[in-house]
């Protein structure tokens, strides 16, 4: 793990490496799950299906090629959180909780089933999301 210490200019952030076992690139801003693939604490996949949500561990801070190792952020302020358009226009407000969804993150009440006891508080949100868009946010660890 990599820790960025608290200072006057930014939040304390925690990062960890993962091995991409998705079969495709994990794009910056996607939620990453460590559970569905092998539960070995190393291999990660995009948290984009119900079986992945309980293992949601963090957010990719860089594109991670298939079978390559890259960093995900597991705590602190995240610059790029991919928002899901879920097939229609939605509005996400600052401080709304975001949980993994089929194509990015979606604003919904967090529960164990869809957040793995982790979720993101939205900030710097777009006015409306009718296609994939990015926001920033704060990863909250409930467990």
pLDDT tens track of the chain, all 143 residues? 677 766 677 778 899 999 999 999 999 999 999 877 667 889 999 998 888 888 888 999 999 999 999 999 998 899 998 887 666 667 777 888 888 888 888 777 776 566 666 788 888 777 666 667 888 888 876 54
Q: How far apart are CA 47 and CA 57, in angstroms?
A: 9
Q: How far apart are CA 84 and CA 20, in angstroms?
A: 21
* Of residues 18, 124, 15, 17, the one with CA closest to residue 80: 124
The b/e string for 1-25 (b: 16+ C-beta within 10 A; e otherwise) is eeeeeeeeeeeebbbbebbbbbeeb
Instruction: Tell me how many domains the chain contains.
Output: 1
121 CB burial (10 A radius; 0-12, 13-18, 19+): middle
Strands 31-33 and 56-60, by their bridges, are antiparallel
Non-local CB neighbours of 38 within 8 Å, separated by 6+ positions: 21
Indicate the pTM of the whole model: 0.83
Q: Residue 35 is part of which domain span?
A: 2-141
């Amino acid at each position: 793990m990599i820790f960025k210490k608290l200072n006057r200019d930014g939040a304390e952030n925690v990062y960890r490496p993962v091995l991409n076992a998705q079969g495709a690139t994990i794009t910056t801003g996607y939620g990453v799950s460590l559970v569905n693939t092998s539960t070995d604490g190393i291999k990660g996949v995009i948290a984009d299906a119900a079986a992945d949500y309980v293992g949601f561990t963090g957010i990719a801070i860089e594109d991670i090629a298939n079978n390559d190792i890259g960093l995900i952020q597991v705590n602190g302020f995240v610059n790029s959180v991919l928002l899901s358009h879920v097939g229609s226009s939605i509005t996400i407000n600052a401080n709304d909780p975001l949980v993994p969804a089929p194509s990015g993150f979606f604003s919904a009440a967090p529960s164990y089933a869809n957040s793995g006891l982790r979720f993101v508080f939205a900030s710097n949100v777009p006015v409306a999301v009718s296609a994939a868009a990015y926001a920033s946010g704060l990863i909250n660890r409930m467990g």
